[in-house]
Amino acid sequence: DTEVTQTPKHLVMGMTNKKSLKCEQHMGHRAMYWYKQKAKKPPELMFVYSYEKLSINESVPSRFSPECPNSSLLNLHLHALQPEDSALYLCASSQAAPPSGNTEAFFGQGTRLTVV
Amino acid sequence: KQEVTQIPAALSVPEGENLVLNCSFTDSAIYNLQWFRQDPGKGLTSLLLIQSSQREQTSGRLNASLDKSSGRSTLYIAASQPGDSATYLCAVRNSINAGNNRKLIWGLGTSLAVNP
Q: What is the pLDDT of residues B1-47, one digit of tens each?
A: 899 999 999 999 999 999 999 999 999 999 999 999 999 989 999 99
Q: Return the pLDDT at A82.
A: 96
Sort out which chain A residues have CB atoms less than 8 A from B46's CB and list them.
Answer: 2, 104-107
Count of residues making up chain B: 116
What is the tens place of the pLDDT at every residue in B71-113?
A: 999 999 999 999 999 999 999 999 877 667 778 999 999 999 9
Report chain A's mean pLDDT, rounded to a whole number.
94
Q: Which residue of B has its CA nearest to A106?
A: B46
What is the tens place of the pLDDT at every residue in A55-98?
A: 999 999 999 999 999 999 999 999 999 999 999 999 999 998 87
C-alpha A52/C-alpha A30 separation (Å) is 7
Q: Return the pLDDT at B99.
A: 67
CB contact under 8 A, B102 and A48: yes
Gap from A5 CA to chain B (nearest CA, Å): 10
Strands (E), A1-116: 4-7, 10-13, 18-25, 31-37, 44-50, 53-57, 64-70, 73-79, 87-94, 106-107, 111-115
C-alpha B30/C-alpha B41 separation (Å) is 29
Q: Return the pLDDT at A1.
A: 60
Instruction: Number of A to B CB contacts under 8 A, please give it.
Output: 60
C-alpha B91/C-alpha B3 separation (Å) is 10
- Segment B44-61 shows an average pLDDT of 95
Nearest to B26 by CA among B50, B54, B53, B4: B4
C-alpha B107/C-alpha B2 separation (Å) is 11
CA distances from A27 to A12, A65, A71, A92, B50 (A): 30, 24, 10, 12, 20
Identity at B62, one-letter amino acid code = L
Gap from A86 CA to chain B (nearest CA, Å): 13
CB contact under 8 A, B106 and A42: yes
Sort out which chain B residues have CB atoms less than 8 A from A4's CB and list them.
Answer: 43
Instruction: Give yes or no for a contact between B56 and B64, defined as CB atoms under 8 angstroms apart.
Output: yes
Q: Return the pLDDT at A2.
A: 66
Cα-flanking dihedrals φ and ψ of residue B83, to 5°?
-70, -10
Q: Return the pLDDT at A97.
A: 82
Contacts of B100 (CB under 8 A, 6+ apart): B2, B94
Report the share of chain A in percent with pLDDT over 90. Answer: 90
